[in-house]
Amino acid sequence: MLNSRRLVLAHFWLAFTVFGLALVLGAWQMFIRSPLHTWISNPEWYYRSLTAHGTVMGYVFPTLVAMGFGYAISEVSLNQPLIGRKWAWAGFWLIVVGAVMAMIPVALGRASVLYTFYPPLIGSPFYYLGVVLVVVGSWIWVALMSVNLHAWKKANPGAPVPLPMFANVAGSYLWGWTAVGAALELLLQILPVAFGLKSTIDAGLSRVFFSWTLHAIVYFWLMPTYIAYYTIVPRAIGGKVYSDTMARISFILFLVVAMPIGMHHTFADPQVGAGFKFIHSAFTALVALPTLLTVFTICASVEIAARMRGGRGPLGWIRALPWSNPIMLAVAFSFVMLGFGGAGGLINMSYQLDTTIHNTQWITGHFHLIFGGAIVIMYFAIAYDLWPHLTGRAMRDLGLMRLQLWLWFVGMIVTTFPWHWVGILGMPRRMAYYDYTDPAVAPQAVSVMLSAIGGFILLASGLLFIVILLRAQRAPREEAGLYRFSAALHPPVAVPALNSYALWIALMVGLTVTNYGFPIAQLALRSDTSVPAVYVGANP
């Protein structure tokens, strides 16, 4: 059952439109700071663009995809019409209003503080208010997902919650809790200063709050991708999910350990004790577990599909896979990028290796590879898979779709691999230009140029993606049939602990208290750690 098509389409279209715009900014930034261009005639424009790119790509785009996909999952997998559709629209419009409100001061150069906020730098209050509205809009979605699940559970007592919805609600709870960190930073610390009610702010505390959000937000971005791995890919390539239980355990592990590990972003910060950094580092290692489990289950599921198609031999089955199917291609690319990105992530999470690359271009390369690469390529796959069911029109550009995915994969590799490399050479992040004529910087020039070329390949791919969606919107009408998610090889049995969240939410909150409680409480209770705000863009 997919009744709320307009709602889902609205989320997807808005998501991909803002994605396209932010992608243009990203490619421009890559170009402008590379040796292909002379120094920009106003560096402030670069930081303006960087703020817009980060805010849209980090807060608006993935949130909308998760929400739209979440509404579709709720209706399809529970086979019940969405409860609270009016509220869902209200959430959507809150995001529209919030995004516009945030982008106006950014475009005017009144909030060039980057999407990570960086107090004591303080920009226009409307920028922060806009971001808050986006988050509030997404919280409506969190509540709706919970409401819909409970209604279904009441109607189907004791039955196992379908895996897509189980994962979806886990993702929504994770987001609901992880957004609290940034929300506290914005509401209690930044907004009072931005409105001029206060003139000092604890920069150290705000970095701790932000780390609460900053890491788990990546897992929130990741949720639609993982849901697609488990519930779209096997069906799309003619196979089955190898293990439903393993999938549930993975999503629960994300819910519990994705959030209380954020301080690995503050390894180099002077305001957090080393003991807490070590605890967070160890828990970060733990979050690799659900990914390792997922890689195994999905590889096994894919192998099942190949063998059902007549594949043989220990590795020969790989040839039997439906490589002309865009979903197959997308998941393969996604796994390759996840592998490289994950390996890089292991370096970031261990304090000893992190010092070599902390805050260098390596980090930017890393999260573009993971988010822009492994995650977003599956957003494309989700859109391709859902589109005929949302529009009621056929999607026949298979060749173009494959080309688009290839371009995205190649573009992402060409962009991020040199990016990692210059990071190892010590190239700092977020500078509007570099002096490549200096002998100490010159060795980085070729790599940066390559990265910029990769950026243009990505731009071409992103625009092609939008063209494909537009063309599909105009294709002849065709009934796409019932939309369904993958079936499990062995149907799930209702294990209470893997069918509800209470225990896992309790653990998540408990770990937040143990891992974040003292550092936050100590800094929040001290008055001598507040420093004067530094306002940007107010007097150009």
Partner 1 sequence: MTTQDHDVEEARVAERVERRWATLSIAIIVVLAGAAAFAGIHQATMPQGRVETIQPQIIHLSGEFTEANLGSAAEPDGSVTVRAVGQQYSFTPQCMVVPADTPVVFRATSPDVVHGFLIQGTNINTMLVPGYVSEIPARFKQPGEHLMPCQEFCGVGHEGMWAKVKVVDRTEFLTMSSKNRRVTCVE
Partner 2 sequence: MSDDNVLSPRDPWFRRAVGITAGIFVLTALGGFIVLPYAQPELKVSGLWDAICSAAGVVRTSSAQAPVQPDPKLTKVVITSALPATPAPDAIGRGATLAQQCAICHGPTGVSRADSPNLAGQYAASIYKQLADFKNGARVNAIMSPFAANLSERDMQDLAAYYAYLPRLPGYHPQQSQPAPKIVINGAPMRGVAPCGSCHGALDNKTGSPWLEGQPAAYVKAQLQAFASGERRNDISQQMRNIARRMTPEEIDQAAEWYASQPPTLIHTN
The residues carrying an active-site annotation are 215, 219, 366-368, 429-430
Nearer to partner 1, 263 or 328 (CB): 263
514 binds, among partner 1, partner 2, none (CB under 5 to 8 A by kind): partner 2
Could you say which residues in the range 91-150 bind partner 1, by CB under 8 A?
Answer: 112, 114, 118, 120-121
The least distance separating partner 1 from the CB of residue 162, rounded to whole angstroms, comes to 19
The least distance separating partner 2 from the CB of residue 459, rounded to whole angstroms, comes to 26
What the block records as the tokens of 391 is 């529009």
- What type of residue is 483? Y
Beta-strand relationship, 200-201 and 531-532: antiparallel
User: Is 514 an interacting residue with respect to partner 2 (CB under 8 A)?
Assistant: yes
Nearer to partner 1, 343 or 398 (CB): 343
User: Is 490 an interacting residue with respect to partner 1 (CB under 8 A)?
Assistant: yes
Distance CA 515, CA 499 (A): 27
The least distance separating partner 2 from the CB of residue 127, rounded to whole angstroms, comes to 16
Nearer to partner 1, 414 or 427 (CB): 427
User: Is 529 an interacting residue with respect to partner 1 (CB under 8 A)?
Assistant: yes
Could you say which residues in the range 401-440 bind partner 2, by CB under 8 A?
Answer: 431, 433-435, 438, 440
Could you say which residues in the range 45-74 bind partner 1, by CB under 8 A?
Answer: 47
Distance CA 27, CA 49 (A): 11
203 binds, among partner 1, partner 2, none (CB under 5 to 8 A by kind): partner 1
What the block records as the tokens of 280 is 């967070």
527 binds, among partner 1, partner 2, none (CB under 5 to 8 A by kind): none
Nearer to partner 1, 87 or 351 (CB): 351
Distance CA 453, CA 330 (A): 22
C-alpha pair distances (Å), 397 with each of 45, 325, 465, 472, 481: 38, 11, 11, 8, 19
Distance CA 91, CA 125 (A): 21
Torsion, Cα of 221, 224, 230, 236 (10° steps): -130
C-alpha pair distances (Å), 491 with each of 55, 129, 459, 495: 41, 46, 42, 12
Nearer to partner 1, 204 or 411 (CB): 204
C-alpha pair distances (Å), 449 with each of 437, 474, 535: 14, 38, 34
Could you say which residues in the range 423-482 bind partner 1, by CB under 8 A?
Answer: 425-434, 440-441
User: Is 468 an interacting residue with respect to partner 2 (CB under 8 A)?
Assistant: no
Could you say which residues in the range 206-225 bind partner 1, by CB under 8 A?
Answer: 207
Q: How many CA atoms lie within 13 A of 279 on its CB side?
A: 17
What the block records as the tokens of 334 is 């996604």
What are residue 404's phi and psi, to 5 degrees? -60, -45
Number of residues in contact with partner 2 under rule CB under 8 A? 61
Q: Which of 44, 147, 245, 288 binds partner 2 (CB under 8 A)?
A: 44
Which residues are CB-contacts of 380 (< 8 A; sequence separation ≥ 6)?
Answer: 330, 404, 405, 408, 465
Distance CA 306, CA 191 (A): 55
What the block records as the tokens of 118 is 């960086």
In degrees, to the nearest 5, what angle opens at C-alpha 420 toward C-alphas 414 and 422?
A: 100
Distance CA 257, CA 289 (A): 10
Q: Is 487 exposed, middle or buried (0-12, 13-18, 19+ CB in 10 A)?
A: middle
Nearer to partner 2, 122 or 337 (CB): 122
Distance CA 375, CA 11 (A): 18
User: Is 392 an interacting residue with respect to partner 2 (CB under 8 A)?
Assistant: no
User: Is 339 an interacting residue with respect to partner 1 (CB under 8 A)?
Assistant: no
Q: Which of 19, 139, 177, 242 binds partner 1 (CB under 8 A)?
A: 242
Nearer to partner 1, 178 or 530 (CB): 530
Residues that bind partner 1 in the complex, under the rule CB under 8 A: 43-44, 47, 112, 114, 118, 120-121, 202-204, 207, 242-243, 245-246, 266-274, 277-278, 281-282, 285-286, 288-289, 292-293, 296-297, 300, 346, 350-352, 355-356, 358-360, 425-434, 440-441, 489-490, 526, 528-532, 534, 536
Residues that bind partner 2 in the complex, under the rule CB under 8 A: 39-44, 153, 157-158, 199-200, 256, 271-279, 282-283, 286, 431, 433-435, 438, 440-441, 494-497, 499-500, 502-504, 506-507, 510-511, 514-515, 518-519, 522, 526, 528-529, 532-540
